[in-house]
Amino acid sequence: MKPSEATLRSLLPHPPRAWGGSPRGGKRALLLAAALLAGCAAGERSGAASAGAGEGPAIVAEEAPAPVPAPRRAAPALGPAGVFGPYLAGRLAANESDAGAAAEALLTALAADPDEAEILTRAFNAAVMDGRPEAVRLARRLPESQLAALLLAGADAQAGRWERAEARIRGLPRQGSAQILQPLLLAWTQAGRGNADTALATLKPFSEGGQLRGVAALHGAMIADLANRPREAERLVRIAVAETPEPNLRLATIAAGILARAGREADGARLFDAMSLGSDDIALTAGPAARRAALSGRAVASATEGMAEAQVALGAALRGQGAPELALILARLSLRLRPGFAPAQILAAESMADERHVAAALAVLEGVPEGDPMAPLAALRRAGLLGRLDRGEEAAALLRRLAEAYPAAPQPAIAMGDLLRREGRPAEAATAYGRAIARLPQPGAADWPLFHARAVARERAGNWAGAEADLRQALALSPEEPVLLNHLAYAWVERGERLDEARGMLERAAAARPQDGHIADSLGWALFRLGDLRGAIDWLEKAAELESRNAVINDHLGDAYWAAGRQAEARFQWRRALGLDPEPGETGRIEAKMRDGLPSTTAMR
C-alpha cells in the first residue's frame, strides 16, 4: 500500500531531540515510569474510583500488594443538591482529557460538597493537570497521595523549607516509577540544604552502574557544577554523554557549560554544534546565540531548577512512550518549580495537542518569550497548531517570518510543506520541501523523511518521475528503511514495473516489520501480479488480520480469492471493502467487481 497521510505525519516534522535518548537500560526505566500517577489516568478513563478516602492518585509500585481502601462516604450522587451536575461534567471532561473544563467543574462540585473524598481527589488531579493554584491547597488535604507529596515537596523547596521537602521525597516508595524520580529529587533537596557531598553520595550508587547511570551522572554533574567543583562536574557529565545513545539538545546545553567552566570549551562547543546539523526541528534552536549562552551560563542555576529538570525530562520520555497525560502532569509540576521554563511549556503544549486540545496547547506556547533560545521551536509548533485549527493564513505568515529570521534553516520550509500538503496543495508543498532540501549543507541518513515527504507530494501532484527520483535518493540515505522500500516497491507493482525487484524489496521490508499490515499487503499484491496466487493469498490474509478495517487490503484479498476461483469469498471481501470508506473513485470500481466479477485483464503477469 501507498503510505497514508497518518504515516507521513509520523515522519514529518522530525521529533525534536530536546531531551531524547535514555540511559543504558532505559527501556525498563521507562516501563517503570509508565506507572507514574497511573491511579489518576486509569481512574479517569475507567470511571472507577481512583482512590480511597483521603487518597490521591498513587505512583504504582511494581508487584506491590493492593492497598486496603480507607472507609469512604457515599457516592457524590447522594450528596447535596448542586453537586451531581458539575461532578458529572467534570468526569466527562476528564475522560476527554480536557483538564481546564474538568478542573472548573470539579472545583465547583467540591465547593458544594467539600468533604467528599471522591470529588476532592478528582478535583486535585484536574487542578494539577490544568496548572491551577488551588492544587497546593487541595494537596494538603491528601496526606496519602504521592502526587500531592511531589507537589508539596516542590512548594516547600520554593519556600526554602528543604528539610521538609527532603522528608516528603524520602516518603515516596523506592519502587516502580519512584526508582527514577526519588533519588534525583532527594539529591536536589540535599543540595538545596547546602549538602553537596551528601547529594553526590545519594546519586553515587546510581551513577556508578545500572539502568539510571546516565541520568544520575547528569544530575550529579549539575550539582557538582553548582557547588563550584568543576573537575567532578566534568567527570560526571562525560559519563552522562557516554551513556546517552542519541545526542539531545538539553544534554548538550548542560554539558557545554560544564565543560567550558572546566577549561574544556572546545569539547563543549563540538557537542553543542552536533545538534545544529540537519533538518531536525531542534537544530533551529541550536544556533550561534544559543551556543554562546550554553557555553557562558548555567542551564540549571538552583536546586529547585534541578528538580524541575528531573520532572520535565521524565515527562518528555513518557510522552515518547505514548503517555501524554502523565507527561502533562510532570510538565505542570516542573513549571510550578520553574515558571517560564520553555522546555516544560513546550512539553505541556505537545501533550495537550496529543489529546486534541489544540487551542489550549496554542495558548501555552504563546507564553514562551520571543527571546528564549527555545522560541523558534515554539513558533514552529504554533504554526502547526494554527494549521490544525484551520488558521492556515496565520500559520503561513508565522512560517514566512521564521524563514526570514533564519534564512539558512530548512525547518520553516519543511513546516510550510506540511501545511500545504494538509491543505491539499501537493505541488506547492513539493516546492516548499525543495526549498528545505536546498538548505541542507549535506543530506545525511536522518534526512530521508524530507525526501520522502517531497516524493509523496510530487506523486500526489502527478509528477511520478520526480517522486521516484526522491524515493531513490531517500533510499540512498537509508537503504533498509522499511517505509521507503514499501513505498517505491508498491508504486512499481501498481505501475507493472520492476516486479521482481519490487518483490525482493518488499521481502526485506516485511522481514524488518513482520507485523506491519501495509507491508504485508504490498508483498501479497506483488505476488498476485507475479502470478503466485498461493503466496499472494497467504500474505494478503495476514495483512487483513493485521489491518482488518482497511478497504484497500480487503479489496486486494477479494481479487486474489476471485483469481483462485473462490468467488463467494471474493465478493464477501469486496462487500467488506465497500463498508470501510474506500478512497474517492474506488467505490464504483469495487461495485463493478461485485456485479461482474474480476476482469480477465487484471493484472497477473
Q: List the end-to-end C-alpha distance of the chain, in Å, as a whole number.
A: 19
The H-or-E segment that residue 324 falls in is: helix 324-337
* Rounded CA separation 184/220 (Å): 9
pLDDT of residue 95: 84
DSSP-derived 3-state class of residue 278: coil
pLDDT of residue 491: 97
Low-confidence residues in the chain, pLDDT < 50: 6-17, 19-80, 603, 605
Q: Locate 62 and state its grid cell.
A: 511494581
Q: Locate 136 and state its grid cell.
A: 497546593
User: Left if phi > 0, otherwise alpha if psi is -120 to 50, otherwise beta: which for 67?
Assistant: beta
Cis peptide before 13 (omega within 30 of 0): yes
Can you give the pTM of this predicted structure? 0.80
Q: Provide the residue type at 380 as one letter.
A: L
Let me know how long the chain is.
605
Q: What percent of the chain has pLDDT over 70?
A: 85
* Rounded CA separation 563/473 (Å): 37
- Domain 481-605, classified CATH 3.40.220.10, yes or no: no
* Rounded CA separation 593/574 (Å): 8
Which one, of 264, 262, 252, lies nearest residue 294 by Cα? 252
- In eight-state DSSP terms, residue 77 is G
- In eight-state DSSP terms, residue 549 is T
Could you give the angle at which helices 342-354 and 358-365 cross, rounded to 10 degrees? 170
Domain boundaries, the chain: 481-605
The per-residue pLDDT for range 487-500, each reduced to its tens digit, is 999 999 999 999 99
Measure the CA angle with vertex 279, ends 273 and 285; round to 5°: 50
The per-residue pLDDT for range 2-47, each reduced to its tens digit, is 655 544 443 333 334 454 433 333 333 333 333 333 333 333 333 3
* Rounded CA separation 286/373 (Å): 8
pLDDT of residue 274: 83
The H-or-E segment that residue 478 falls in is: none
Asked if residue 105 lies in contact with residue 89, where contact means CB atoms within 8 angstroms, the answer is yes
Greatest C-alpha distance within the chain: 84
Which one, of 245, 175, 237, lies nearest residue 26 by Cα? 245
Asked if residue 177 lies in contact with residue 327, where contact means CB atoms within 8 angstroms, the answer is no
pLDDT of residue 167: 95
pLDDT of residue 59: 32
